[in-house]
Structure 1
Amino acid sequence: MNILVIEDERPAARRIINLIKELLPSAKIFGHLDSIEDSIKWLHSNPAPDLILSDIELADGKSFEIFKQVDIVSPIIFTTAYDQYAIKAFKLNSIDYLLKPIDPDELALAIEKYENQNKPATINIQMLQSMMQSQQKQYKERFMVKVGEKIHSVPTKDISFFYSAEKATFIQTKEKRKYLIDYTLDHLESEIDPKIFFRLNRKYIASLDAIDDIITYSNSRLKINLKDCGDQDILVSREKVTTFKLWLDG
């Protein structure tokens, strides 16, 4: 069984591949491919895989663009960060959609469905895009924080960046106020708008307005200076540089 993985986030791709290996030890896995362009090239140059697992949001656009330019005969399991209601609606189209982070049991059920049906997928691109637009995730508009014995509401639009320190997570506002919040950075990534905030590394998620300077650094990395932040060692890894630049371009 040949499986193609299309996923632009290296940790997510690694997790999907490891889960597939556990479920299907004899499967031959291709990828991960991390862009629309590379995926189109691969599909034009190789025999159709038995199954495709594809993220919806890639660094250079939505993966639906791939299927507009290549005739796909392989069944597809999409992965997505969209909410559970959209996932249920998409399943009516006889293609499986898994909510990220991928649950091993959900992936096992999706593969079982593929093995039972084992038939080409039919994709109504216009229907999918319409549903995507109507079911887009609603991101947090405010965070409740405790100040002494009082509870304050901090609008997300007023937050400069999120950061972790001493096993806790904090927000810093544009007015330089700092508050402790009951979230991990990993959890926050799915709760805040990715068009406004970017996960720089394991310690920082920053808004575009918070970025003061971007400096080229050794090993093809970038060094980021954030406004009103004393940390001088905020680095964007080489693997995330391309995605970061695309985010900056909007």
Structure 2
Amino acid sequence: MNILIIEDEKPAAKRLMQLIKNELPDSSIFGCIDSIQAAIEWFKSNPTPDLIFCDIQLADGLSFSIFEKIDVKSPIIFTTAFDQYAIKAFKLNSIDYILKPIDPIEFKQAIDKFLGQKQKPHLDIDKIRDIFQAESKSFKSRFLVKIGEKILSVQASEAAYFYSEERITFLKTNESKKFILDYTLDQLENQLDPKQFFRLNRKYIASFSSISEIHTYSNSRLKIILKNCSQSDILVSREKVGAFKDWLDG
């Protein structure tokens, strides 16, 4: 089986290659392409691959542009970090997708689905692109907070981490200021830029810049030390360690 990867993030491409090697050891990787234009040129002069793994958002635009210009016959498994609209788009079109950071179990499920298909699903690029563009979300850039009678706006870039304590959600800034938010951590997780923030556990969401130290801990977990945080037992569960390392490496 010949496989093509279209991915502009080197850590993500490297992880894909390793997962492919594990699940499809007899396959060959044609190559890894990192832009729309390079992909278009590649398809013009290379044989059709048996399977394509394709990131949706490349540095030079949405990868759907590739398939508008080139009639690609290969099955495609899209990869994306944006789950809310991806789920709707791909369910409507029976196209598979994997959320980033890629989980080995989800990867295997996608491969099993691909191998079990007797017929390639119809790829309606126009419909998927329209849903993607209509529902792609812009992440929150600031939060309204109240101090006494005053209402302030705190930039998301100023947030070191968010945490929950006695059912109250707090925002801690890089300057160690603390504010109460009218959001749950579950709500915040879907509103924050996943490239900048990671859900460490059910009580903490941390920015990349807030992480001071990382230590190995029992049962393959990680212990995180956050800047300006008195809590000393912030743990990343074993199930999240792989995704957390990918996030750090991304």
Aligned to 2:9: 9
Retained in 2: the 8 A contact 1:86–1:132?
yes
C-alpha separation in 2, matches of 1:33 and 1:163: 35
Structure 1 residue 191 corresponds to structure 2 residue 192: yes
C-alpha separation in 2, matches of 1:159 and 1:84: 21
- 1:142 to 1:85, Cα distance in 2 relative to 1, 3 A: same
C-alpha separation in 2, matches of 1:113 and 1:120: 11
C-alpha separation in 2, matches of 1:111 and 1:41: 27
Matched position secondary structure for 2:29: strand
Between Structure 1 and Structure 2, how many residues are aligned? 182
Retained in 2: the 8 A contact 1:87–1:99?
no
C-alpha separation in 2, matches of 1:28 and 1:4: 9
Pairing 1:71-220 to 2, within 5 Å after superposition: 71-84=71-84, 86-137=86-137, 139-142=139-142, 155=153, 158-160=155-157, 171-172=173-174, 177-179=175-177, 191-192=192-193
* TM-score, normalised by the number of residues in structure 2: 0.60
| Cα offset, 1:18, TM superposition | 0.8
| Cα offset, 1:94, TM superposition | 1.6
C-alpha separation in 2, matches of 1:159 and 1:57: 22
Matched position secondary structure for 1:19: helix
| Cα offset, 1:141, TM superposition | 4.6
Matched position secondary structure for 2:19: helix
Matched position secondary structure for 1:92: helix
C-alpha separation in 1, matches of 2:78 and 2:118: 16
| Cα offset, 1:119, TM superposition | 3.3
C-alpha separation in 1, matches of 2:191 and 2:33: 22
- 1:160 to 1:17, Cα distance in 2 relative to 1, 3 A: same
Aligned to 1:215: none
**Counterpart residue type for residue 70 of structure 2:** V
Matched position secondary structure for 1:31: strand
C-alpha separation in 1, matches of 2:108 and 2:12: 17
Aligned to 1:225: none
- 1:12 to 1:193, Cα distance in 2 relative to 1, 3 A: closer
Retained in 1: the 8 A contact 2:79–2:100?
yes
* TM-score, normalised by the number of residues in structure 1: 0.60
**Counterpart residue type for residue 134 of structure 2:** S
Structure 2: segments with no counterpart, 5+ residues: 162-171, 180-187, 197-206, 211-250
| Cα offset, 1:135, TM superposition | 2.2
Retained in 1: the 8 A contact 2:89–2:128?
no
How large is the Cα RMSD of the aligned pairs?
3.7
- 1:47 to 1:159, Cα distance in 2 relative to 1, 3 A: same
- 1:61 to 1:92, Cα distance in 2 relative to 1, 3 A: same
Matched position secondary structure for 1:18: helix
- 1:189 to 1:10, Cα distance in 2 relative to 1, 3 A: farther
| Cα offset, 1:140, TM superposition | 3.1
Aligned to 1:60: 60
Retained in 1: the 8 A contact 2:57–2:80?
yes
**Counterpart residue type for residue 69 of structure 1:** K
| Cα offset, 1:17, TM superposition | 1.1
| Cα offset, 1:91, TM superposition | 2.3
**Counterpart residue type for residue 193 of structure 2:** I
